[in-house]
Amino acid sequence: MLRWLALVTGLGVALAQGGAQLYQQNCAFCHGDSGQGRVGAYPPLAQHLPELIRTPEGRAHLIYVMLYGMQGPVRVRGVNYNGVMPAFPQLSDEQVAQVLNYVLTAWGNDRLLPQGHRPITAQEVANLRSTTPRLTPQQVGENRARITVP
């Protein structure tokens, strides 16, 4: 059991390390170097994503945002945001998983993840990419509005 736990934890750390560079290249301009976001436009990733990942819908939503982008209003911790996030279809399934695992563990988010959290895998991204009809950024935004964050 300990060996399995070490493997899973190590996998998450390795994925997150590759994700840091991808985050700086693709996400930091809008969401900030520390995941703080930009008031009114881009929501914070720090301290928020662990809340979102607690639901199966939230977990899938994070993948959809990377694959299809997102447009429309969202309220995070009492603040309204209404920026447009571009899609990143050029990123491989592995790269999407790396970025998401990075943002889920950076800036103290790792301490806020639910017990039993599993890193997002490239296979999980591939499954959603291949089984979900292509969504518009507006549809992703509408879906986010229906997710209740604990």
pLDDT tens per residue across span 93-136: 999 999 999 999 999 999 999 999 999 999 999 999 999 999 99
- Per the structure, the count of domains in the chain is 1
Count of helices and strands (H, E) across the chain? 7, 4
**Is 150 part of a structural domain of the chain?**
no
CA distances from 67 to 108, 116, 128, 132, 136 (A): 25, 25, 9, 11, 10
pTM of the predicted model, to two decimals?
Answer: 0.86
Here the CATH number for the domain that contains residue 63 is 1.10.760.10
Question: What pLDDT is recorded for position 21?
Answer: 97
**Is 118 part of a structural domain of the chain?**
yes
Q: Which domain holds residue 64?
A: 2-145
Q: Which tens digit of pLDDT belongs to each residue from 21-46? A: 999 999 999 999 999 999 999 999 99
**Is 17 part of a structural domain of the chain?**
yes
